[in-house]
Chain A
């Protein structure tokens, strides 16, 4: 494994775009470039290509939930995998791993992001919040989810709680229709939407009252 020091701490860890694409594996690159439906791969060629490229590791520091946390990542490591696999911040969940379902939602510099499609190296110097840092007392979004049973198996819940808080922070006077649109980037399989919407409304109400 070759060591590669980041040339620009805010950039892609000194890797060129081409290296990044190669390092991330031909399979992933092809899927991005040609779409899912055409993703019939020549496995042998993919294997051959990817073994020639050795990805480097970079030491990065991320500010997660108010703490500076250092770890080694590869330039291709997603924020989600870095949080979960390296920093033991497991609130955000890996579900679709392709930016479709919102279970991995985190707040980076105040903006809601899908951490499964955000590179960890691009988050250096930014403020990363996951739901573990949210208030949980009365009037909080997690409390409202609990009281309104806006969860069942609970695996989508971190994403919904995060999306809901991020949306309400920016839109304190949102109507129910607006809240629905605000959390439309998230998917639940147990079908907890009725409780989720009740929770979101309760949290919005509490916010106004506060």
Chain B
């Protein structure tokens, strides 16, 4: 079994990204930036209607417009369009302006059909069907023990309906690619993707080529968050347009509106939850009935109760309500943020009902059977100290008398993030001392490129900047798609394996040149080759002994270097204006474990980023659908709200990293830190204002609604 070095010189340090200056100077070329010779610009025509049948489509005028080189109909007569943003046709033209004109010149007659865009519309009696066979699909239900009996015997119970809206990924670089053909048999693409290896297969299929005939580059890409694993209709359409235009490359990136409507979303989630506890504050029963919508795709698979899986009795039922919206896609920790909000809100409400400190209540209800429990038990006091829980926290509603109230809230989360066998990394040591690491994975902003270089540098006694970390090319050895926080734990082991084997091969080849040393006497550190405790040559001198033959090794997954399963907790401090409903987050504390941290600088960035994405989810984000027209009302970046610099609170990030934690090896951290932020913010708001806001986000409307409802019912 392989092991990471006990006293590393590079791993665990704060290493700036190798490609950071390229990005910060505007010189990094993204797939949407490349401009191969003969480039044509693509544009998509998409449905303005939530539900319609294409009666006729006429592209003749469009085809004749100046500059237009190819027009392709995707949805011919008779095709049903199922959401605002559904693909209809595409154009390639000499300029982008011409392509957009041509899109507008395509004449279509629609048979507009009745739609359902909200869960209520979808689930109503006699609702129009999104697909034949009904809108409501029963999801995975679960029952353990006797929840009804246990609920009846509980000392305290709560019952409420909690709701989280659908949000979208808002990748800043929209979905798309640039693709061209050389002759009949070779295609090159620059794709904004989380799956450079896999997308080559999609394009090959669309072009009826072999996978090896297609080369895809993803040197850089502008965000995916789970939504960019496939070539998609627009990607394969661009390839077809290129073919129609004699192979000229076509650049096809969605406009912001279609990006919002069609390129993925995180499904909504609503659950009616009953939760009961005994006198000692142990949760004895949870009964939950939920529904959600992921448009024409899957809804949320709610994990209820979340984290607190030791509850002896529970029953969960859930349904996916299909709607005329674009289909959901994986989004940073699929299902977890919703499950966390629904559970943690109910847990908080029940603690309140019992008159218990919600922190103590959580500690009491950790799952004794879970390996995460000792981690939570260690993390929670650290977070409580950093947010000032003991000094600052007051019981719900007892937070003062003025119009501005402050409150504290917390929530727990968990994630897998492990490594999988099957991927490869190659390492080549050249006689000039340069080192190439190659694998067909990609850096979606996580720092994957830098991580691979750090591992190689550690083993070879070099600096990360001395390693050529070559990724983002589908012709390299098969690499991991960036999903599930698996990239680093999956790619680190084969990287370690390749570089270790290459180093050993180097030792074998050059040992005799250094006073007839034996390979096992040699080691590498500080840029030098050492033999028997003495530096005998610089790295470059050592490599020169290779003569004309480089060393090239392909590494495979090895056990002992990565594992899975993390726990984390987050705390939020907020202030709320009771008159305007405006919430300001003052401080967030995030305690996160993730085994052995490779680059502390980019690790922290990931946790900060996760927290900020969670803050957006907690305060601002929601897809707003117009029930009447069936269209998304905010498919832009003005009314689809995201935080700016002024919205960012003090954020305190701590790695939970005791010495034995490193023994758990490398675990991914992309997803976990975004899970519990919105739940903690919602709980803090309820603590501040004295009533539960049951609907996320914590927007002025939702906060004022909660206050008004409570006031009407005489609760506040």
A155 at the B interface (CB under 8 A): yes
Given the complex, which residues of A lie within 8 Å of B610, measured CB to CB? Answer: 191
Chain A 13-41 interface residues, beta-carbon cutoff 8 Å to B: 25-27, 36-37, 40-41
Given A152-B605, A191-B610 in contact, is the A77-B97 Cβ separation under 8 Å? Answer: yes
In the complex, which of the residues B26, B101, B255 contacts A25, with contact meaning CB atoms closer than 8 Å?
B101
**A161 lies within 8 A of B16 (CB):** no
Given the complex, which residues of A lie within 8 Å of B172, measured CB to CB? Answer: 93, 95, 101, 103, 153, 155-156, 187-189
Closest to B650 in A: A194
Given the complex, which residues of A lie within 8 Å of B66, measured CB to CB? Answer: 1, 54
**B645 lies within 8 A of A132 (CB):** no
Cα(A150)–Cα(B223), bound, Å? 15
Given A143-B21, A155-B172, A187-B642 in contact, is the A194-B97 Cβ separation under 8 Å? Answer: no
Cα(A179)–Cα(B446), bound, Å? 26
Given the complex, which residues of A lie within 8 Å of B223, measured CB to CB? Answer: 153, 155, 189-190
Interface centre among B105, B602, B605, B651 (most CB of A within 10 A): B605
Given the complex, which residues of B lie within 8 Å of A74, measured CB to CB? Answer: 95, 97
**A152 lies within 8 A of B445 (CB):** yes
Given the complex, which residues of B lie within 8 Å of A155, measured CB to CB? Answer: 30, 172-173, 222-223
B279 at the A interface (CB under 8 A): no
Cα(A161)–Cα(B613), bound, Å? 21
Given the complex, which residues of A lie within 8 Å of B16, measured CB to CB? Answer: 146-147, 149
Number of interface residues of B (CB under 8 A): 77
A210 at the B interface (CB under 8 A): no
Given the complex, which residues of B lie within 8 Å of A180, measured CB to CB? Answer: 645-646, 648
A195 at the B interface (CB under 8 A): yes
Chain A 159-186 interface residues, beta-carbon cutoff 8 Å to B: 161, 179-181, 183-186
Classify the secondary structure of A's interface with B.
Answer: loop
B70 at the A interface (CB under 8 A): no
Chain B proximity mask over A44-65: 1 for CB below 8 Å, otherwise 0: 1011001100110000000000
**B611 lies within 8 A of A41 (CB):** no
**A93 lies within 8 A of B25 (CB):** no
**B20 lies within 8 A of A161 (CB):** no
Chain B 234-287 interface residues, beta-carbon cutoff 8 Å to A: 253, 255-256
Given the complex, which residues of B lie within 8 Å of A191, measured CB to CB? Answer: 608-613
Closest to B616 in A: A191
Q: How far is the CB of A113 from chain B (nearest CB, A)?
A: 16
Given the complex, which residues of A lie within 8 Å of B611, measured CB to CB? Answer: 191
Given A47-B107, A88-B35, A149-B601 in contact, is the A196-B445 Cβ separation under 8 Å? Answer: no
Given the complex, which residues of B lie within 8 Å of A158, measured CB to CB? Answer: 26
Given the complex, which residues of A lie within 8 Å of B100, measured CB to CB? Answer: 25
In the complex, which of the residues B29, B33, B35, B105 contacts A47, with contact meaning CB atoms closer than 8 Å?
B105
A124 at the B interface (CB under 8 A): no
Cα(A50)–Cα(B95), bound, Å? 16
**A40 lies within 8 A of B631 (CB):** yes
Given the complex, which residues of B lie within 8 Å of A1, measured CB to CB? Answer: 66
Given the complex, which residues of B lie within 8 Å of A202, measured CB to CB? Answer: none
Cα(A94)–Cα(B173), bound, Å? 8
Chain A proximity mask over B15-45: 1 for CB below 8 Å, otherwise 0: 0110111011111111011010000010000
* The 5 residue pairs across chains A and B that have the minimum distance between CB atoms: A91-B26, A191-B612, A155-B222, A153-B445, A154-B23
A interface residues (Cβ-Cβ under 8 A, vs B): 1, 25-27, 36-37, 40-41, 43-44, 46-47, 50-51, 54-55, 74, 76-77, 81, 84-85, 88, 90-98, 100-101, 103, 130-132, 134, 136, 141-143, 145-147, 149-158, 161, 179-181, 183-197
19 additional contacts (CB under 8 A) given A36-B635, A47-B107, A141-B24: A44-B108, A51-B105, A81-B96, A90-B26, A90-B29, A93-B222, A95-B174, A132-B26, A136-B24, A136-B25, A152-B605, A152-B606, A155-B223, A156-B172, A184-B645, A186-B644, A187-B637, A189-B170, A189-B171
